[in-house]
Amino acid sequence: MKSEPVVQLRNVTKKIGLKTIIHPISLDIHKGKVFGLLGPNGAGKTTIIRMIVGLASITQGQITIHGANVKYEFEKAIQHVGAIVENPQMYTYLSGYRNLIHTANMLPHVDRKRIKEVIALVGLEKSIHQKVKTYSLGMKQRLGIAQALLHRPSVLILDEPTNGLDPAGIRELRDHLRKLAEVEGTAVIVSSHLLSEMELMCDEFAIIQDGKLIGVKSLEEMMHHDSSDVTIALQVDDPEEAYEALTTAPLDISCTLKDQTLTVKLANDQIPRVVFTLAQGDINIYEVKRVTQTLEDKFLEMTGVR
């Protein structure tokens, strides 16, 4: 059973003039989970994040953090939040450690022990005393996360944190965010348009398109498929003839031909009939391979984008 949501959005709407930027959206975000705002650039992900942290006004609806209304109880709500909405701010001529000291001095109840804890959490022990100007982009991102974690927030919000990172940096960031959720119990909210990375990083997704919430799914729900409904790819000696044979046969299937590969959506028990139909037409079959849907496939299916 899920715990009470840490962050709640209820019918949140954003308008600029007469134009609706964010249509009514409701979300529940829970402790110890990585929650992804998933959508193309310009979908409205950053606007939603800016409303959660109080950087953009809410036209209608309400956002609460641990029950405190962001609009009317901002200080009470935001004390629970650590966020990087733009690029993390730091002094590049100082070491990573001195940057953390500087940030800690502006926060209540942050001691040297906590500084040491966040350094370990983001994996910067070996480089924390080097000047920030020597850091890679991924290391700067992790130092920014360390700054955001100093006051022990229960909610960490990151807007497009993988932008500009190389594959190694993305993998490091992903691993540290998973660690934060699982070890510290932090509710992590992350936005991205990189579907493959979100698939590896998040427990739950909100699909955003044109300022509208298309759906909210757990990773298991996103990747689940009915075992009776499958997609197969066929390699044959004459793809055009095979396509003609399958599309004219009395079969309950959906068939496409692209780059000399036949892709067929069908019920599992229809596979033998497809093979039999091709064999009857003297079409040689070299390979029949089941196609596994990726998060990108699911996203395109849900949004209707092709």
Query: According to the model, what pLDDT value does residue 103 have?
Result: 93
135 and 233 in a single domain? The answer is no
pLDDT tens digits, residue range 175-189? Answer: 888 988 998 899 999
How far is Cα of residue 83 from the mean position of the Cα atoms in its chain?
16
Query: According to the model, what pLDDT value does residue 86 have?
Result: 75
55 and 141 in a single domain? The answer is yes
* Contacting residues for 20 by C-beta, under 8 A, at least 6 apart: 13, 14, 211
135 and 203 in a single domain? The answer is yes
| Three-state DSSP state, 240 | helix
Low-confidence ranges of the chain (pLDDT < 70): 1-2, 222-228, 293-306
67 and 112 in a single domain? The answer is yes
> At which of 199, 223, 247 does a domain end?
223
Query: According to the model, what pLDDT value does residue 48 have?
Result: 96
Neighbours of 248 (CB within 10 A): 9
Distance CA 176, CA 172 (A): 6
187 and 237 in a single domain? The answer is no
Tracing tokens 């700054």 back to the chain, one arrives at 147
Number of domains in the chain: 2
Query: According to the model, what pLDDT value does residue 301 have?
Result: 66
Distance CA 133, CA 149 (A): 21
CATH of the domain at 88: 3.40.50.300
Domain ranges, residue 174:
5-223
- Please, are residues 193 and 201 in contact by the beta-carbon 8 Å criterion? no
- Please, are residues 28 and 5 in contact by the beta-carbon 8 Å criterion? yes
Query: According to the model, what pLDDT value does residue 191 have?
Result: 92
Residue 43: both structure tokens together: 């979908």
Query: According to the model, what pLDDT value does residue 156 have?
Result: 95
DSSP the chain: -----SEEEEEEEEEETTEEEEEEEEEEE-TT-EEEEE--TTSSHHHHHHHHTTSS--SEEEEEETTEETTTSHHHHHTTEEEESSSPP--TTSBHHHHHHHHHTTSTT--HHHHHHHHHHTT-TTTTTSBGGG--HHHHHHHHHHHHHTT--SEEEEESTTTT--HHHHHHHHHHHHHIIIII--EEEEEES-HHHHHHH-SEEEEEETTEEEEEEEHHHHH---TTEEEEEEEES-HHHHHHHHHHSS---EEEEETTEEEEEEEGGGHHHHHHHHHHTT--EEEEEEPPPPHHHHHHHHHT--
Distance CA 107, CA 223 (A): 42
> At which of 223, 258, 293 does a domain end?
223
- Please, are residues 299 and 208 in contact by the beta-carbon 8 Å criterion? no
119 and 180 in a single domain? The answer is yes
287 and 178 in a single domain? The answer is no
Query: According to the model, what pLDDT value does residue 189 have?
Result: 96
Residue 8: both structure tokens together: 């709640």
> At which of 166, 192, 223 does a domain end?
223
Neighbours of 80 (CB within 10 A): 17
197 and 291 in a single domain? The answer is no
Query: According to the model, what pLDDT value does residue 119 have?
Result: 93
CATH of the domain at 269: 3.30.70.100
pTM above 0.85, yes or no: no
Query: According to the model, what pLDDT value does residue 72 have?
Result: 94
Helix (H), strand (E) at residue 146? helix 137-149
